[in-house]
Amino acid sequence: MDKDELIAAIKEIAAPYTADKTALAHLSEKTDFITDLKINSANLVDIVLDLEEKFGIEIDNDAMARMLNVKSTVEIIEAKMRAHDRK
């Protein structure tokens, strides 16, 4: 899966948690979940759970704490999937 597909998947998962649909439409690698998409910080954990299910990966606490924006989320998922492939 390339980066654009990954970002599209993140956008789809973030959609129900985002009240600001305009900001969601403009989602890019630079987007921050809390400041740009106005997602309730408590819901970040739900987004991570949805991503885990979608990509069949498990994200540890430290990685989860860094998943505050699209860029770091993409990086973490890519790393997890690479690690997964090697196994």
Q: Which is nearer to other proteins, 58 or 79 (CB)?
A: 58
Contact residue for other proteins among 11, 32, 38, 43 (CB under 8 A): 43
Please list the helix, strand and coil fractions of the chain in percent, rounded to the nearest 5, in that order: 65, 0, 30
Q: Residue 25 has which token pair? A: 């439409």
Question: Does 34 help bind other proteins (rule: CB under 8 A)?
Answer: no
How crowded is the C-beta side of 60, counted as CA atoms within 13 Å?
3
Residue closer to other proteins by CB (options 1, 35) is 35
Residues within the interface to other proteins (CB under 8 A):
16-17, 42-43, 45-46, 49
